[in-house]
Structure formats: structure tokens, C-alpha cells
Structure 1
């Protein structure tokens, strides 16, 4: 079976033709994460949510929101934003 570089970096599971990242490879370190790929996965899911909402497909919106909430990419990005990007006293604004 062919595995893309993203699938090699992350353990990926497919649900409804949507890649779901279920974990980092065991030998991968925080500093080795390809953040552009993580951001791209989250952005694409957010775009799909927007498009589904625009066409009134609320069942798809809910499914995609659940997918985004459970995705490893979203969790990694949220963790990075809280621990690294939001440093300082103005983190709540």
C-alpha cells in the first residue's frame, strides 16, 4: 500500500475519505513535526466546514466539526499555540 509522506510521519486512519491523524510515529520528536502540514490539514477541514455550512448541509457540518475536534493535527496545533505562540501577559485577549 502506498503511503504519502504525511502518512509516514503520522499514523493516519481514514474515515469517510478524510484522513484522521491518530498519533505521531514513536520516534518523532516535537521539534520534528512538520507544522506547515499540520496547519494545512486543519485549514482544509475548516474550509470544508465553511463550505458545508454555506450550502446548508448541517449533517456534514456536524460530522466535519467532530472530525476536526478529534483530529491529531488540531490537537497538535492547539497545544503549540497555547505553549509556544501565546507567551506573555496578553494571552487572554
Structure 2
């Protein structure tokens, strides 16, 4: 959440996408109940503050599809496919 982008394997990025999408959907509501639900899943208070103050309002008029997965090619060394997951 802090850097708004992450480089990881394709499989991990695909697993992470629905988790991040749900957090942003809760942040769009912006109420106390949603903040507490997000704090239960994300222990970093700074990340939750950024999520609710900056990222949530940015996507207020968007109904979904907050993230993008871009394939980067194989990793040098073991050949694992890498991907970058980032906010749109």
C-alpha cells in the first residue's frame, strides 16, 4: 500500500489482487466500521491511513479494477515468471 506497486511472482500477484481489491472497496466507504475491518487485516497503521485518506477517495467513482498485473518475464537464476502488481 505504501509504494502502490510490488514486484513478485505471477502466482503471488494473482493471489494478492482480490485481497487488495477488497481493501480498497472498504476504504472507499471511509466509515469507522470499514476502517476497523481493514485494521484487523492490515496491522500497519500508516498503510491504513494512506489507504483511507489517499487511495480510497482516488477510486470513489470507480466500481472495481483498481489493480493491474504486468508480466515482467523470467527471473534470472531460477526462471520463475515475475510480475508487477500496481494500482491503476
TM-score normalised by length of structure 1: 0.30
- Greater strand fraction, Structure 1 or Structure 2: 2
- Greater helix fraction, Structure 1 or Structure 2: 1
Higher relative contact order (CA 8 A, sep 6+): 2
TM-score normalised by length of structure 2: 0.31
